Amino acid sequence: MKMKIGICFLAFALLAIGARADSLGLKNVAGCAVLGASAVTNTGSSVISGGVCVSAGTAISGFPPGIVNQGIQHNNDAVAILAQASATFDFGILDSLSPTKDLTGKDLGGMTLTAGIYSFSSTAQLTGALTLDFGGKSNMDIIIQVGSALTTASGSSVLVTDAGANDHVFWVVGSSATLGTTTSFMGDIFAKDSITLNTGATIQCGGAFALTGAVTLDSNTISSCPSGITGGTGGTGGTGGTSPTPEPSSLLLLGTGLLGCVGVLRRKLLP
């Protein structure tokens, strides 16, 4: 009986691990570091750490020569459909948050931003280096809301300093995002339309999630960090910067086990 109770507590712990640790209430974009709606296309030697997904379209091309590590292609299957619904939900949550500072009309290059919510009423531009400073604190978010298009100049960079555990960076883009050649980027990009990574652009501890259009890649590297910036690598849920979600079959087995656990605990604890 002691062994059964121990297994039950382990099952409840595993269920808890599947949820996001922060307070935003985001869903998990499970199994996807790259998510397109109409298509995902790649040219050259891109390396994606996490799944490559598309839904409701069915076009994934350029793998190979592109490589998908720690994940597979999900072509409008159950994983991709759930990921697209989750990404759409997350976009709505992140876009609805009240900003702490308005940066409209300013270039992000040369700025240092701390944990908080920053907004651009229309377009946002990054030319040069943007520093994101978490001040050594854990479970913090830096959220940048862009009313329309996000564009980075060639050779631009996003640098993270003094990160704690389970910190996250989210970009919420009202139309399309374009990363310039050799841009070194950080965080999850949720774009209402499309996302384009020009030659040599990289995304660290994040992913590219397009809600209605395509994701276009060209010799890029994308590395998701589902446990946050200081966590291990691996999607969402890909979701790139969000915690990993168990596959539906695993959830079914876990749920069945939990029902059995309820019976075991009732027999043990009730007179």
Give pLDDT tens digits for 9-50. Answer: 333 333 332 333 346 889 888 889 999 999 999 999 999 999
196 φ/ψ angles, rounded to the nearest 5 degrees:
-125, 125
**What digits encode the pLDDT tens for the residues 112-142?**
999 999 999 999 999 999 999 999 999 999 9
Place of tokens 């994606």: 48
Q: What is the pLDDT of residue 230?
A: 60
Q: At 167, which amino acid appears?
A: D
181 φ/ψ angles, rounded to the nearest 5 degrees:
-50, 130
Q: What is the pLDDT of residue 25?
A: 84
**What digits encode the pLDDT tens for the residues 50-106?**
999 999 999 999 999 999 997 799 999 999 999 999 999 999 999 999 999 999 999
Determine contact, residues 96/119, Cβ cutoff 8 Å.
no
Q: From edge to edge, which strands make up the β-sheet containing 73-75?
A: 73-75, 52-54, 34-36, 208-210, 188-191, 168-173, 141-146, 116-120, 101-102
71 φ/ψ angles, rounded to the nearest 5 degrees:
180, 175
Q: What is the pLDDT of residue 23?
A: 62
Top pLDDT among 228 and 114 is at 114
Determine contact, residues 125/108, Cβ cutoff 8 Å.
yes
